[in-house]
Structures are given as structure tokens and as C-alpha cells.
Amino acid sequence: MTALVDFELREAGDSALVLALPERVDPLLNAWCIAVAGALRDSLGSGVRDVVVGYCTVTVYFDPLASDPAWLENRIRALAARVLRPSGSGGAAVDVPVCYGGEYGPDLDEVATFAGCTAGEVAVLHSQTAYRVYLLGFVPGFAYMAAVDPRIARPRRSTPRTTVPPGSVAIAGEQTGVYPGATPGGWNIIGRTPVRPYDPSRPEPFLFRPGDLVRFHPIDRSEYLRLA
């Protein structure tokens, strides 16, 4: 545990407040946001409608006719001041099998060209890092993870696909993620996993939580088909 964190409180309209830290992809700042979000959920109870973690923000949604915003600001400041900066990840370890390239990874070759290496080397670089889940967003179960090796950190595609197959594993700059369902998407698709990030039939429908540490491991096509 180290020093407290400096933050700013910003208005996002009349029904949301944003607690904002210095804007950078930083595991410690994000861990603090997750801890603060937990403290706010526990302490503010029915006074708030939702608490959402960003990379370096916590957004609190409330009904301004039920909770006075000035009072809420003071409560948030007081509660946040009591949260120490966590030292570790605090999340679970999650293993995600991926079949890289081929029909499952239509953009793997472009990422390889970007990196100046082979497709196989991209798969190695992508799977040898443990990624932190910074936040979930976009659609149910989509986890924003970082940080991708700078060599394969190809920026998002200029024209997004209108639909991306569920389970697609993709890269956008230093971020990586797994598409939970068939949605539009602009990230570079390098492979596919048979594991579903969101499955309402599981006791725990969401595979990832903010703060988790995720490792991808390469599988071949027959293994993919066996697991799918």
C-alpha cells in the first residue's frame, strides 16, 4: 500500500459524476478505480443506479431527484479518500485457448506485415503476455485488456466490419479483447476462441471481471473444433 491518489470529480450531465484520475493505461490506477467502485457500491447502496469502471475513471449514475448531487460529491470524495492504492491485481487468472489465423483470424497476416514478422511469431508474441482486464464495456462481457507487445500493436482498422463472429480474438493498438457476440467491430481479428465471454446459461455468465489476468494459449483447429 502506498500513497493516496489524486483525482478530479467531473459532472457528466445532471445524473452522473465521473471520478477521473490522470489519463493513462496504468494497472495501479485502474486497480484503485476498481477498489473505489466497490467501496461506492457497498456504501452508497440504493442511492446510486450504477457504478462503471473505465481505464482510469469511475462513473457513478444516480437519480438527482432522489440523491442531492452536492451531497453525493462529498460522499464520493470521503469514500474515495479512504481507499488505499492496491498493490496487486486482485483479480482471477483466466486461461483462453485460441486458434490463431486461417479462417478464424482474417487479419493475422496484416498484423504480421505491420510487425515485420511471420504470422506464427504474432501468435507467439500475443500469447506470451499476461493481460490485465481494465474494464468491461461495449457489449455484455467484452473485456478491454492491455498491454499488447508494441511490435504487434496494429491500430484499429479504418473501416470496421459490419459483423464479427463470436469468440473472435482481436487487437487494436495496445488493447486486445474477445468479441462475445456477433457485433460490428473495427479491431484486427487474429484468431478465435471456443470459450464464450458471455454465456447466460453459466452460473457466472461473465468470463472476465475488471482486474483479472488473462493468458491466451494457442490451440490447433482440431482442438478448437473439439472444444467448440
Asked if 183 interacts with another protein (CB under 8 A), we say yes
| Element housing 72 (H / E) | helix 69-81
Q: Give the x/- contact pattern for another protein in 115-144, rule: CB under 8 A.
A: --------------------xxxxxxxxxx
Residues sharing a CB contact under 8 Å with residue 6, sequence separation 6 or more, in sequence order: 21, 22
d(CA 159, CA 111): 16
Of residues 1 and 24, the one with the C-beta less far from another protein: 24
**Three-class secondary structure of residue 102 per DSSP:** helix
Residues sharing a CB contact under 8 Å with residue 56, sequence separation 6 or more, in sequence order: 20, 21, 22, 23, 24, 25, 26, 29, 30, 33
Of residues 49 and 82, the one with the C-beta less far from another protein: 49
Of residues 61 and 114, the one with the C-beta less far from another protein: 61
Report 57-96 residues binding another protein (CB under 8 A).
57, 59, 61, 64-65, 69
Q: Is the peptide bond before 147 cis (omega within 30 degrees of 0)?
A: yes
Report 140-179 residues binding another protein (CB under 8 A).
140-144
Asked if 16 interacts with another protein (CB under 8 A), we say yes
**Chain positions contacting another protein, by CB under 8 A:** 10-16, 18, 20, 23-25, 37, 49-57, 59, 61, 64-65, 69, 135-144, 180-181, 183, 198, 200, 206, 210
